[in-house]
Amino acid sequence: MAGASYSGPHASISTAYETACSLERSTARGTARVPAPELQISLRVNKLIIAGCLAVLAVFMLAGFFNSSLPLAAPATLAALAITVGLPAAGAALLVRGHYADHSRIAGRKAELRRNTVDAEILRLAARNGGRLAAVEVATALSMRPEDAAEALKQLGIRGQAEVEVTDDGVLVYSFYDLRHLSGKHTAKGVLDA
């Protein structure tokens, strides 16, 4: 979807998400480049293929040991068994574990990136609305479900970026102190000058 143009109320979220994804790929781990998503998928699939081959090799070698006339209790036989069966089996297990660890790490990064993007869009919306927002405003402006908008605002409150206020009608309004007082930034002085 890179290069596709979006329109509508959630266009800025999509654009910000794509920009953040490309920035994350280009700047992850300092100057090291992260492989493109297609290459990452290929590497993960290759891990599973190699793990399967190692598992088949381990089973094949184990079957060979059981069919041999070697005494299985001899130290040399046990050492050979550990090398020819144990090492491929351990390698297969490590590759499978690495595959699923990569998958969960990538899913976690995507969720964090999405949360950061939504938080940034909420703060931008709050700045346009005088520093106060209700969940229904967020849901409408960002094309979110009302429950998700309320949860995002609640999390901003937990992290200390917003305070909860209640109207006379019982509507929860999230007040962003910094955004409400942003117009006074021209009067800022040094900490020691105050």
In the chain the domains, ranked by start, together with CATH numbers, are: 11-119 (no CATH), 131-187 (1.10.10.10)
The whole-angstrom separation of Cα 10 and Cα 80 is: 61
b/e map 125-149, b = 16+ CB within 10 Å: bbeeeebbbbbebbbebbebeeeeb
Are 122 and 144 in contact by the 8 Å Cβ rule? The answer is: no
Amino acid type, 45 = V
pLDDT value, residue 28 = 46
For residue 104, count CB atoms less than 10 angstroms from its CB and return exposed for 0-12, middle for 13-18, buried for 19 or more. exposed
pTM of the model: 0.51
The predicted-structure confidence for 53-110, as pLDDT tens digits, reads as follows 889 988 988 888 888 887 777 888 888 888 888 898 998 888 888 878 877 888 888 8
Identify the residue with better confidence: 78 or 24: 78
Identify the residue with better confidence: 37 or 93: 93
Residue 156 has pLDDT above 50, yes or no: yes
b/e map 31-61, b = 16+ CB within 10 Å: eeeeeeeeeeeeeeeebeeebeebbebbeeb
Sheet holding 172-175, edge to edge: 132-134, 172-175, 163-166
Are 54 and 95 in contact by the 8 Å Cβ rule? The answer is: yes
